[in-house]
Amino acid sequence: QLLEYWKHELGGGAARLLEVVASVYPDSIQRSEAAEQANLSGQSGTFATYLARLRALELVKGSGELKASDEFFE
């Protein structure tokens, strides 16, 4: 339920990115692979902004390899 809340709250690309990262939990996913699966360019400023927002909200950890917060799965 917490994951669904945040996906709704974030919307758009940030929600897609969160969904991709959460889908591989408890494993992590390479940044480039997460971007591709979320239909984003991993080199774009937009992707960097989405990722920075997810990290600031402590929903995602990491930079090269991304992992969803454990709180979603407790």
Please count the residues of the chain: 74
pLDDT of residue 74: 87
Mean pLDDT of 11-23: 97
Whether pTM > 0.85 for this model: the answer is yes
Tokens of 27: 């494993």
Query: For position 14, what pLDDT does the model report?
Result: 97
What's the mean per-residue pLDDT of the chain?
95
**CB atoms inside a 10 Å sphere around CB 39:** 10
In whole angstroms, what is the distance from residue 70 CA to residue 49 CA? 22
Give mean pLDDT, residues 17-21.
97
Beta strand residue intervals within the chain, DSSP E: 29-30, 60-61, 65-68
